[in-house]
Amino acid sequence: MLIVLLISLVIGSLGIGLYLQQPKFGKLPDGPYLERIKSSPNYVDGQFQNLVPTPRLAEETSSASMLWHFLFAKKARLAPTEDIPSVKTDLLALDQSQDVVISLGHSSYFVQLGGKRMLIDPVFSHYAAPVSFANRAFAGTNPYTADDMPEIDYLIISHDHWDHLDYPTSITLKPKVKYVVCPLGVGAYFEQWGFEEKRIQEADWFNAVEIEKDLTIYVLPARHFSGRLLTENKTLWAGFALVTPERRIFYSGDGGYGPHFKKIGEMFSGFDLAIMENGQYDKRWPYIHMMPEEVSQAAEEVGAKVVLPAHSGKFSLANHAWDEPLKRITLASQNRKYRLITPKIGEKVEIENQQQIFSHWWEGIN
């Protein structure tokens, strides 16, 4: 029996080891990627750190209690019982001179700005996890595939978590992507996945990527963490500012509330549109994801004229009702300086059109 047990353990360990070698898990940055990381002031003692102290859990929460809550706490309406409504705009037929933003679900966005086409954190898979049975997308939230995408000038990736960096999506998009823009270390994934090094543009916080005239992509701080599975904070996480002579768009990436929002607002003198993380929060991890009321405050601090809430409505990664983030941000946005918009997946947002009205599409869906 002991021999059988030992053999089983060895075989199991080998199987896990082989499974973890799959390219979807990526590899730790090395070579020039690691050298750039080591020169970053945000990289200390072998890990990236936030601008302010950021515990993973609230002070009164232990890892054991969080696990207990996740496994056994009452869960109400984590996923809708009906299909999420969407509108499938033909991206190939869009007038490329028009500045538009289109939600593709969760934190995935198609952006046309200054004649350039961009994809932010695209996830076209039906799950946001290393295994297909976990974090399944809600029914109706995947109307788009890579085949629906036009040529992409910039693929923008905020960090390496599964709901933002999707291996199958990245591979299928590869022939259409001119450049990848990402924070430090994340480029190592794309090099492993066959993207040419000259197509990968990495940057540290408060640095800019300017490949072509009249479009600058700024990599900006977020208050979060990184890691695909067993290693943490070996790659950087970020938000972005997309700037042309006519417009400024802010994408917060994932992260908790912090002083960086006010600094970003002062740095850019406000934004025409801010895509703000709003969802997958919990009082047990208040520093790495924002509550909707904090999203509202942060949006004012970055100087947003219009706010588009992200990070909800496709995956359930926290123990709140699937539509709660949208309800709470709607209430929190009353009497604020910005205008809140809530388009369906695929619905076109015309940035210069201040008269567009979008429905509360989640109302009436169980």
Whole-number pLDDT of residue 5: 52
More confident residue, 26 or 296: 296
Q: What does the pLDDT look like over 284-311, one tens digit per residue?
A: 999 999 999 999 999 999 999 999 999 9
- Separation CA 119–CA 121 (nearest Å): 7
Whole-number pLDDT of residue 13: 42
Cβ-defined contacts of 46-50 (< 8 Å, 24+): 46/234, 47/232, 47/233, 47/234, 48/184, 48/185, 48/226, 48/233, 48/234, 48/235, 48/236, 48/237, 49/233, 50/221, 50/223, 50/224, 50/258
Looking at every residue in the chain, the average pLDDT score rounds to 93
Q: What does the pLDDT look like over 315-344, one tens digit per residue?
A: 999 999 999 999 999 999 999 999 999 999
Q: What does the pLDDT look like over 41-85, one tens digit per residue?
A: 999 999 999 999 999 999 877 766 666 666 666 778 999 999 999
Specify the DSSP element, H or E, that contains 221: none
Whole-number pLDDT of residue 71: 63
pLDDT range class, residue 357, cuts 50, 70, 90:
very high
Whole-number pLDDT of residue 61: 74
Per-domain residue ranges of the chain: 96-350
Whole-number pLDDT of residue 67: 65
**Superfamily of structural domain 96-350:** Ribonuclease Z/Hydroxyacylglutathione hydrolase-like (3.60.15.10)
More confident residue, 22 or 226: 226
Whole-number pLDDT of residue 231: 87
3-class secondary-structure state, position 11: helix
Whole-number pLDDT of residue 22: 80
3-class secondary-structure state, position 319: coil
Tokens of 68: 């207990």
- Separation CA 358–CA 365 (nearest Å): 16
Q: Mean per-residue pLDDT for 150-173?
A: 98
**pLDDT > 90: percent of the chain:** 86
Whole-number pLDDT of residue 316: 96
Q: What does the pLDDT look like over 238-275, one tens digit per residue?
A: 999 999 999 999 999 999 999 999 999 999 999 999 99
Kindly report the pTM of this predicted structure: 0.94
